[in-house]
Amino acid sequence: MDISKISWGNDSAELDENLTQYFVPSQQYEMLNKWQKNIVLGRKGTGKSACRKKLSSELRANCKNVVIEVLPRKEIFLAAKTNNSEFLKESSEIFFENVWYEYLTKMAFKTIGSIQEGKCITGSLERARSFAIEKGVSNLDFIERLKSLLSQLKIKSDLIGGASLDIITELKSLQELDAFEYHLSKILEDDIDVIFLIDDLDVGWDNSDISNKLLHGLLLAVVRLREINIKLRNVTFLRNDIYKQIMNITQHSDKFRDVVQLKWDYASLMKLLSKRIRFNFEEVDFMLENENETFLRVFPEKNGIKYTSDWMMERTLSRPRELIQFSKLYTENLSTNAQSIETLKKAEIQYSDWKLQDLYNEYMHVFPGLKIFFATWKSRHKRKRYAMPGDEFSEFILEVLEDSPILPEDGKFIYDIKMEANFMKLQECLYEIGFIGDVIIGGDGGTKIIYSIGNDEHRPKFEKIQIHPCFRKAVDTVERIRSKRNDGQISTDEDSIGDDDE
């Protein structure tokens, strides 16, 4: 097969129809299968949705499982903001918890009922079947129910005075959930498990107070379901930054600590690539190869002094989506059916630009203003070393800040840092998002570079820093500064800390 025509699959797990054929479980996947964890954390591209899709497929194979995938539309955040009433400001979490709880309870009841067609059923299952027929799929809508409950509460508050309105009591009266809870409990006695898989919670999220309380309410609702009956299981997939924001506002953080962080090692990522390569070939002996042999069918063995596999892993943030995107960019730009180091290096330039854009888009609601900061860096401060002593880097980023034409409406976070000349806060931000790493000098002269990705326990000192290999081309860094000595020979800056891979 022509390697330039390899199909690597869709970047988005939801749209990849062949995902289950070449799915590679992360180290933490088995914890989900055994119900050891119910919150999955990961940054964009770490495989959260792929895990959810594979887990859904495996769970549905057991006819005793009722699997419900909850993938909220982005409009729910807009609906929550535009319909938020003044009298709910202080108790919106309670309100959202109850709306989500009603929605999930009725969704479970309806889903169980909808699969009873053609069966001879009585009691609670018959009630579920009747409810499914009555409501149908389109009539169980979260946004419409949110608006309806808000409207009814607003009318009551106008009549009796918003300050004295007991929202929990009124919601209990309006929702009439006692019968649903009773029949659902009866159904679960019949060796049936209901599993909610909740994902795509970043679609429409903007880090506003209301959007955070909306998601906080969802987490509270699934805990409440689980407390009622352990067979109402759930797995929620969340981005790290969203989880962090919710933990900052909750008084119940102890309820949300049953988490697992998705992480990938070199062997798993090599297996991921090799399985996708093999998917494109039909040769029988191909399956006898190890991952490295399969990799070398498509990629050159070395890029400079480094093995290509190591070089690629460094530049893809150890995330499956990035690795697939880089591989696709490389093979699609091959002009012949042959490996090419030149094409690989050209792919790195475009890929690095993509990833920098993805970085500030990912954090635009947590650290607004990063886009202008990086645009200034790229346009006015090129050819800086990718490795610097910490004090030199501090001076440099302050120069970039001073040149950044940023206003409060462009991003208050970066604007405030600029006004305060707070280089340390900006350094911490760049470390948290994975743009820079903290260089640790070992006692034997060796160095270790720690990036925040998967290393939340590390507290950086910033005595020396390195820009992550993923972003070096995007901001046009150089390996080291070269200058002429007095004798006319070329000397290199010995203070440069690097891996000599450029």
Look at the block and give the residue holding tokens 């309670």: 94
Q: What is the pTM of this model?
A: 0.86
Same domain, 93 and 220: yes
- Asked if the structure places residue 411 within a domain, the reply is yes
Could you list the residue range(s) of the whole structural domain that residue 442 is in? 363-502
Q: What digits encode the pLDDT tens for the residues 403-424?
A: 999 989 888 899 999 999 999 9
DSSP annotation string for 91-139? GHHHHHHHHHHHHHHHHHHHHHHHT-TT----HHHHHHHHHHHHHTTTT
Same domain, 276 and 380: no
Same domain, 294 and 414: no
pLDDT surpasses 90 at 483:
no
Same domain, 238 and 349: no
Q: What is the pLDDT of residue 492?
A: 39
Q: What is the CA radius of gyration of the chain?
A: 27
- Point out the domain boundary residue: 360, 392, 417: 360
Nearest to 262 by CA among 238, 241, 234: 238
Q: What is the pLDDT of residue 475?
A: 95
**Of 462 and 179, which is predicted with more confidence?**
462
Q: What is the pLDDT of residue 49?
A: 93
In whole angstroms, give the CA distance from residue 363 to residue 414: 12
Q: What digits encode the pLDDT tens for the residues 54-64?
A: 999 999 998 88
- 3-state secondary structure (DSSP) of residue 448: strand
pLDDT surpasses 90 at 399:
yes
Q: What is the pLDDT of residue 429?
A: 95
Q: What is the pLDDT of residue 171?
A: 87
Q: What is the pLDDT of residue 495?
A: 38
CB 442 within 8 Å of CB 415: no
- Which range of 82-91, 335-344, 452-461, 486-495 scores highest in mean pLDDT? It is 335-344
* Mean pLDDT (the chain, rounded): 85
Same domain, 298 and 378: no
Number of domains in the chain: 3
Same domain, 268 and 173: no
pLDDT surpasses 90 at 311:
yes
Q: What is the pLDDT of residue 80?
A: 86
Same domain, 257 and 327: no
pLDDT surpasses 60 at 142:
yes
Q: Which two tokens stand for residue 278?
A: 């093999």
Same domain, 446 and 389: yes
Q: What digits encode the pLDDT tens for the residues 348-359?
A: 999 999 999 999
Nearest to 184 by CA among 193, 173, 175, 174: 193
Q: Which residues contact 169 (CB under 8 A, 6 or more apart)?
A: none
Dihedral angle computed from the Cα positions of residues 87, 93, 97 and 100, in that order, rounded to the nearest 10 degrees: 80
In whole angstroms, give the CA distance from residue 71 to residue 302: 42
DSSP annotation string for 204-231? T----HHHHHHHHHHHHHHHHHHHH-TT
Pairing of strands 302-303, 306-307: antiparallel
Q: What is the pLDDT of residue 488?
A: 43
pLDDT surpasses 50 at 486:
no
- 3-state secondary structure (DSSP) of residue 69: strand
Q: What digits encode the pLDDT tens for the residues 281-297?
A: 876 556 667 899 999 99
State residue 168 phi and psi, 5-degree precision: -65, -45
- Asked if the structure places residue 232 within a domain, the reply is yes
Give the neighbor-by-neighbor strand order of the sheet with 193-198: 65-70, 193-198, 232-238, 39-41, 259-261
Q: What is the pLDDT of residue 184?
A: 85
At residue 502 the predicted structure's pLDDT band, cuts being 50, 70 and 90, is very low
Same domain, 190 and 337: no
pLDDT surpasses 50 at 402:
yes
Q: What digits encode the pLDDT tens for the residues 224-240?
A: 998 888 889 999 999 99
- Point out the domain boundary residue: 261, 288, 322: 261
Same domain, 81 and 152: yes
pLDDT surpasses 70 at 168:
yes
pLDDT surpasses 70 at 467:
yes
Provide the 8-state DSSP code for 443.
T
> Beta strands of 209-331 (E only): which ranges?
232-238, 259-261, 302-303, 306-307
**Of 163 and 333, which is predicted with more confidence?**
333
pLDDT surpasses 70 at 489:
no
What b/e readout covers 312-338, taking b as 16+ CB neighbours within 10 angstroms?
Answer: bbbbbbbbbbbbbbbbbbbbeebeeee
- Asked if the structure places residue 3 within a domain, the reply is no
Q: What digits encode the pLDDT tens for the residues 320-348?
A: 999 999 999 999 999 999 999 999 999 99
Same domain, 112 and 53: yes
Q: What is the mean pLDDT of residues 439-459?
A: 77
Q: Which residues contact 371 (CB under 8 A, 6 or more apart)?
A: 360, 364, 411
Q: Which amino acid is at 195?
A: I
% the chain with pLDDT above 70: 85
pLDDT surpasses 60 at 84:
yes
Q: What is the pLDDT of residue 113?
A: 78
At residue 375 the predicted structure's pLDDT band, cuts being 50, 70 and 90, is very high
Q: Which two tokens stand for residue 269?
A: 């990522």
